[in-house]
Amino acid sequence: MTDHTPAAPVRAPEKPQLRPGRPHFSSGPCAKRPGWSAAALATESLGRSHRAKIGKARLKLAIDLTRRLLGVPDTHRIAIVPASDTGAYEMAMWSLLGPRPVTALAWESFGEGWVTDAVKQLKLNPTVIKADYGHLPDLSRVHQDDDVLFTWNGTTSGVRVPHGDWIRDDRAGLTLCDATSAAFAVPLPWAKLDVTTFSWQKVLGGEGGHGILILGPRAVERLESHSPAWPLPKIFRMTKGGKLIEGLFEGETINTPSMLAVEDYIDALEWADGIGGLAALCARADANAGTLQRWMDGSAWARNLAADPATRSNTSVCIQVDGDPKAIAACLEKEGVAFDINGYRDAPPSLRIWCGATVDTADLEALTPWLDWAHATVSA
């Protein structure tokens, strides 16, 4: 006998009571520092020339605070350059590459971008060492006599190099490190890095549009002894008459910076300094990533895209899910609980939740029940 009793309707899960105080979990531009207000920014440099005494002084202050917070040695030069991390990294590639063979590492989309530049634009015929999303390439295969292109933290895969021990001290080539999601979240081994780039829109939550370029002495030596075979746009030129343009590393920028963005960066640097510097920033990022990882460890439907715990990012945490991550992200955004957490367009379907130092751990603790609620809601 057939039972015609209608199935009980699926009940919508109950919404959690606690909401994140700041639902800004975008992986760039990232959350502003806790307590941020535009009213806190210094304004004396606004409406003034960046070439004026006050403009140069503020740019130099940003460089000096960057050096102190990151522990950059005096042997390395720091410049503020155009076009975010991309501009800084391509400035280094176009200016430095050519004299030696190149090895390029890629395990996510931004590393793939540097491979494309080396192969299709500069036509350097590099050795390319790749890994799938969620994994790190075999670093023992890196040609240490080559110039090496790599990202420290793969922002779109949540996979980072665990340390710099794989880089030899007696290497003949230069290391060019894209550290945009790592700077201010992990200690960087400056003796191992000849070129380091990042943008302040990541871990410190600054405004977009500007990059930081850090050159070690071996990179400076290359700049002063090598003339690229290709034309260099004005915004890439770091030498004149075969000598480094030293003013660039004292705040005399190549083009006009946004002094409002510079003041915002200084505000973030001073906040970081006030809470305990780099150690405190790293601890905040570790605590944030740890909160998400403990939740994933107990989840039946979510897991870290990074397979090896030793290579898991503490900033750009990428989460594989059972179900539709885009729908989950949209559900949470509609509730005003989490903004911009759908995975990167080139990455496997996933959620990507920023855990850098400007995010409060309490907000991530409040978010995890909402993740479960959104998954249940979408699944139902």
Q: Which of 272, 305, 324 is the last residue of a domain?
A: 272
Same domain, 49 and 164: yes
**283 assigned to some structural domain:** yes
- What is the model's pLDDT at position 13? 86
Show Cβ contacts of residue 215 under 8 Å, excluding neighbours closer than 6 positions: 76, 77, 79, 92, 194, 195, 223, 249
The secondary structure element, H or E, covering residue 334 is: helix 325-335
**19 assigned to some structural domain:** no
**33 assigned to some structural domain:** no
- What is the model's pLDDT at position 3? 60
Same domain, 91 and 106: yes
Same domain, 185 and 330: no
Same domain, 195 and 157: yes
Does residue 173 sit in helix, strand or coil?
coil
**15 assigned to some structural domain:** no
CATH number at residue 341: 3.90.1150.10
> How many CB atoms are located within 10 Å of the residue 368 CB?
20
- What is the model's pLDDT at position 241? 95
**23 assigned to some structural domain:** no
**176 assigned to some structural domain:** yes
User: Could you give the number of structural domains in the chain?
Assistant: 2
Same domain, 165 and 301: no
- What is the model's pLDDT at position 189? 98
* 197 closest CA partner among 185, 180, 210, 216: 180
Same domain, 147 and 220: yes
Q: Which of 253, 272, 291 is the last residue of a domain?
A: 272
Series of mean pLDDT values for 10-residue runs along the chain (380 residues): 58 90 98 98 97 97 98 98 97 98 97 98 98 98 97 98 98 98 98 98 96 98 97 96 97 96 98 98 98 98 98 98 98 98 96 98 98 97
**36 assigned to some structural domain:** no
Distances (CA, A) of 149 to 18, 64, 127, 217: 44, 27, 10, 18
| Owning domain of residue 297 | 278-379
- What is the model's pLDDT at position 12? 67
CATH number at residue 96: 3.40.640.10
Q: Which of 245, 272, 299 is the last residue of a domain?
A: 272
Does residue 49 sit in helix, strand or coil?
coil
Same domain, 331 and 186: no
Same domain, 76 and 106: yes
Same domain, 268 and 315: no
- What is the model's pLDDT at position 8? 52
Question: Which residues are bridge partners to 151 per DSSP?
Answer: 178
Same domain, 50 and 144: yes
